[in-house]
Amino acid sequence: MNYLSLGYYLIVAAAFLVYYALPQKHRWIALLAASIAFYCFADFEGLPALGWMILFSFLSARKVKGSKPALAAALGISILPYWFHLGSQVIGKSLPGIFLPLGLSYLSLQIIAYLADCYSGKTEPEKNLLQYVLFISFFPQVVQGPIPRYGTLAPQLKEGHDLEADNVIRGFLRILCGLFLKFVISDRAAIPANTFYAEAGVYTGVAAWVSASAYMIQLYTDFLACVLLSQGVSLLFGIRLGENFNHPFTSQSTGEFWHRWHISLSQFLRDYVYYPLGGSRKGEIRKYLNIGAVFVASALWHGVSLTFLAWGLLSAFYQIAGALTFSFREKVYALLKISDSIKKRIRQTVTAALIVFSTILFRSYGFRNVLQHTKSLFVFHALPKEEGLLIGMSGYDWIVFLLALAIFVIIQHINQKRDLEAEFLQKKWGTRYAVYFVFIIVILLLGTYGFGYDARAFIYGDF
pLDDT in tens, 16-46: 999 999 999 999 999 999 999 999 999 999 9
Average pLDDT for the chain: 90
121 inside domain = yes
pLDDT surpassing 50 at residue 326 = yes
Residue that wins the pLDDT comparison between 382 and 320: 320
In DSSP notation, 114-150 reads HHHHHHHTSSPPP--HHHHHHHHH-TTTTTT-----H
21 inside domain = yes
Domain count, the chain: 1
Residue that wins the pLDDT comparison between 383 and 400: 400
172 inside domain = no
Residue 459, pLDDT score: 24
350 inside domain = no
| CA proximity to 408, closest of 222, 168, 172 | 222
**Residues 256, 220: contact at Cβ < 8 Å?**
no
Residue 64, pLDDT score: 94
77 inside domain = yes
pLDDT band at 458 (very low <50, low <70, confident <90, very high): very low
Distance CA(199)–CA(195), nearest Å, equals 6
pLDDT in tens, 94-106: 878 788 899 999 9
pLDDT band at 453 (very low <50, low <70, confident <90, very high): very low
Residues 6 or more apart whose CB falls under 8 angstroms from that of 415 comprise 421
Residue 462, pLDDT score: 32
Q: At what angle do helices 6-21 and 206-236 cross, to 10 degrees?
A: 30
201: three-class secondary structure by DSSP: coil
pLDDT band at 81 (very low <50, low <70, confident <90, very high): very high
pLDDT band at 457 (very low <50, low <70, confident <90, very high): very low
Within 10 Å of residue 263's Cβ, how many Cβ atoms? Answer: 20
Lowest mean pLDDT among 19-28, 311-320, 369-378: 369-378
83 inside domain = yes
Distance CA(463)–CA(460), nearest Å, equals 8
- In a 10 Å sphere around its CB, with 0-12 CB exposed, 13-18 middle and 19+ buried, how is residue 461 labelled? middle
Phi, psi of 429, rounded to the nearest 5 degrees: -60, -35
| CA proximity to 287, closest of 263, 311, 323, 257 | 323
Residue 392, pLDDT score: 85
**Residues 266, 170: contact at Cβ < 8 Å?**
no
Lowest mean pLDDT among 321-335, 385-399, 403-417: 385-399
Residue that wins the pLDDT comparison between 267 and 456: 267
If you average pLDDT over residues 383-394, what whole number do you get? 69
- Torsion from C-alpha of 215, 216, 218, 222, nearest 10 degrees: 140
Distance CA(414)–CA(73), nearest Å, equals 49
Stated pTM of the model: 0.91
The proportion of the chain whose per-residue pLDDT surpasses 90, expressed as a percent, equals: 71
If you average pLDDT over residues 123-141, what whole number do you get? 96
Distance CA(321)–CA(444), nearest Å, equals 46
The proportion of the chain whose per-residue pLDDT surpasses 70, expressed as a percent, equals: 95
pLDDT surpassing 90 at residue 130 = yes
- In a 10 Å sphere around its CB, with 0-12 CB exposed, 13-18 middle and 19+ buried, how is residue 368 labelled? exposed
Distance CA(62)–CA(124), nearest Å, equals 8
210 inside domain = no
Burial 283-295 (b: 16+ CB within 10 A, else e): eeeebbbbbbbbb
pLDDT surpassing 70 at residue 195 = yes
If you average pLDDT over residues 337-343, what whole number do you get? 92
Q: At what angle do helices 150-158 and 28-43 cross, to 10 degrees?
A: 110
Distance CA(30)–CA(446), nearest Å, equals 35
Residue 23, pLDDT score: 95
Distance CA(220)–CA(356), nearest Å, equals 11
The helix (H) or strand (E) run that includes residue 349 is: helix 340-363
Residue 461, pLDDT score: 28
Rg of the Cα atoms in the chain? 23
Residue 123, pLDDT score: 94
263 inside domain = no
Q: What is the DSSP letter of 182?
A: I
Task: Name the residue range of residue 51's domain.
Answer: 6-162
